[in-house]
Amino acid sequence: MSGLYARESRSVSTMAHLRFFPQAVTGGHGSYLTGEDGRRLLDLSASWGAASLGHSHPALRDAVNRALSNQAGASYLSSANEPCVRLAEKLLTLVPERARGRVWFGHSGSDANETVARMVVSATGRPRILAFKGAYHGGTVGSMAVSGHPAQQGARAAGLTLVPYPDSYASGGPEAAKREALEALERALASEAPPQEIAAFFIEPVQSDGGMLVPPDGYFQAVEAICRKHGILIVADEVKVGLGRTGRFNAFEHCRIEPDIVVFGKGLGGGLPISAVVGPETVMNHAVAFSLQTVHGNPVCSAAALAVLETIEGDRLAENANATGRVLFEALGRLAATQPLIGEVRGRGLALGIELVTDRGTRRPASRQAALTVYRAYQLGLVLYYVGVHSNVLELTPPLTLTEAQALEGAAILGQALDDVQNGRVDENLLAGFAGW
């Protein structure tokens, strides 16, 4: 264990920790982090997708420097500021017509989803919310209240109904998954969740923390039709998989739906804290002083977000996510051909998941092996974590700037790590103190 890691354990609380191995870093450039021990670590997590442009991207650095050298205050609570307004204007051009009203700014996916959860109930007068089992919409009281991830230690909202997300691997195919999930939704609407009482349905176009589940074709179009029929607002949580990561700017575009409200976070600031909710004016302007924290709309973070959006567009990073994602997906597919622990490789663009199983026939989750694999990968110079309701899905959300060579390098290291785990070459005692989630 490095000196920094040990010092941290004597000074920093563990309450926000989600640790998989004793990682301590001192810097980073592009897709690589620098370990305290001087090792170069290929970062295929990008801090859970937040470092969307990789580390120390010059466009982000320049934008932040400019904004800080003549700082237009620190907040939009009591004053308009140029970067914040420009960012709102830009975001309004990036969402479907029905969401093109006003933008609210926060710090994180959590405060954004919490605001939406309160806002839709307050604006519509309907008390209920639909969301998915396995969904992670945030770690604050109000965002946990509309989430469905089993790892969370918080209460759910009284008006929340959780329905199953279609899982094509578990159901044995996309058609069965779609049918089962839609039937469960219809059952919920016919019983505990009367549709006329539901304000909104929180959806993830790819359910990331629930296991990087890709919805079957047509599933969300069917959901959209149900929501339109009953006047239920569709909230697309694009926090982890949006902003070009899936190969299109918005992940919901793959589903061919048009949400009413779009939530951005993580990669929006490229590593700086900023989130945004974009939605119709009737909802977004239904109250004042309704959801605010002092440095919301911070001009420095807003300038960073503008630089992120300009770089995604200017450097065609959605196209890169698509092309590099395909190279990575195919390399992982080749690993799956020789590595029995891999049950399925899935995802879109540079949002990929690898489900590990102890037996491909029964699809039994290989949770311990997932923990050992990410630990071993770290020892070999690769950073990635795992997700899933059974903690057995390796998650890849690398910088959108990832190159094909880096994708192949990552797949090769991961192949070695899986091999070492499969052949019992990784000491299980290493996991003591690294519970993950």
User: Within positions 184 to 213, which residues make up the interface with ligand PLP, using CB under 6 A?
Assistant: 204, 208-209
| Residue 104 vs 136, nearer CB to ligand PLP | 136
Q: Which is nearer to ligand PLP, 35 or 297 (CB)?
A: 297
Cα Dmax for the chain: 61
Distance CA 400, CA 14 (A): 30
Rounded CA gap, 241 and 208, in Å?
7
CA distance 195 to 1: 53
Of 138 and 216, CB closest to ligand PLP: 138
Nearest residue (CB) to ligand PLP, 104 versus 417: 104
Please, which residues bridge with residue 396 across strands? 352
Given 32, 76, 136, 385, which residue is catalytic?
A: 136
The reply to whether 110 sits near ligand PLP by the rule CB under 6 A is: yes
How far apart are CB 49 and ligand PLP at their closest, in Å? 7
76 is catalytic: no
Considering the complex, what minimum distance in angstroms separates the CB of residue 211 from ligand PLP? 12
Measuring CA to CA, which residue among 165, 266, 295, 172 is closest to residue 220?
165
Least distance (Å) between residue 120 CB and ligand PLP: 16
Which residues is 262 bridged to in the sheet? 236, 278
Residue owning tokens 């519509």: 124
Window 227 to 266, contacts with ligand PLP (CB under 6 A): 237, 239-240, 265-266
Name which of 208 and 373 has its Cβ closer to ligand PLP: 208
- Residue 357 or 387 having the CB closest to ligand PLP: 387
Q: Are 214 and 177 in contact (CB under 8 A)?
A: no
Where in 7-46 is the site for ligand PLP (CB under 6 A)? none
Q: Which stretch binds ligand PLP (CB under 6 A): 53-61, 94-102, 103-111, 251-259?
A: 103-111
Shortest reach from residue 412's CB to ligand PLP, in Å: 27
Does position 149 interact with ligand PLP (CB under 6 A)? The reply is no
Q: Least distance in Å: CB of 144 to ligand PLP?
A: 10
Residue of 132, 136, 169, 201 that binds ligand PLP (CB under 6 A):
136
Q: Cβ of residue 179: shortest distance to ligand PLP, in angstroms?
A: 25
Choose the stretch contacting ligand PLP; rule: CB under 6 A; options: 22-30, 102-110, 150-158, 394-402.
102-110
For every residue of 251-320, DSSP letters joined together read GGGGGT---SEEEE-GGGGBTB--EEEEE-HHHHTS-SSSS--TTTT-HHHHHHHHHHHHHHHHTTHHHH
Angle, helices 299-314/82-92, rounded to nearest 10 degrees: 40
Do 42 and 383 contact (CB within 8 A), yes or no?
yes
> To the nearest whole angstrom, how small is the minimum distance from the Cβ of residue 375 to ligand PLP?
21
Give the single-character DSSP code of 55.
B
Residue of 75, 113, 168, 406 that binds ligand PLP (CB under 6 A): 113
Query: Is there binding between residue 104 and ligand PLP (CB under 6 A)?
Result: no
What angle do helix axes 299-314 and 58-69 make, rounded to 10 degrees? 150
- Grouping H, G, I as helix, E, B as strand and the rest as coil, residue 377 is helix
The DSSP symbol for 147 reads -
| φ, ψ dihedrals at 23, nearest 5° | -85, 130
The residue at minimum Cβ distance from ligand PLP is 109
Binders in 385-414 for ligand PLP, by CB under 6 A: none
Which 3-state string (H, E, C) describes 136-182?
A: CCCCCHHHHCCCCCCCCCCCCCCCEEEECCCCHHHHCCHHHHHHHHH
Q: Which stretch binds ligand PLP (CB under 6 A): 92-100, 133-141, 285-293, 309-317?
A: 133-141
Which residue in 35, 83, 109, 164 binds ligand PLP (CB under 6 A)? 109
Q: Which two tokens stand for residue 2?
A: 């490095």
Minimum gap (Å) between residue 22 Cβ and ligand PLP: 22
Q: Please state, in angstroms and rounded to a whole number, the distance separating the CA atoms of residues 276 and 306.
A: 12
Residue 164 exposure: Cα atoms within 13 Å on the Cβ side: 16
Between residues 346 and 376, which has the closer beta carbon with respect to ligand PLP? 346
**Within positions 48 to 77, which residues make up the interface with ligand PLP, using CB under 6 A?**
48
Place of tokens 């420095």: 300
Active site positions, annotated: 136
Where on the chain is the footprint of ligand PLP (CB under 6 A)? 48, 108-110, 113, 136-139, 204, 208-209, 237, 239-240, 265-266
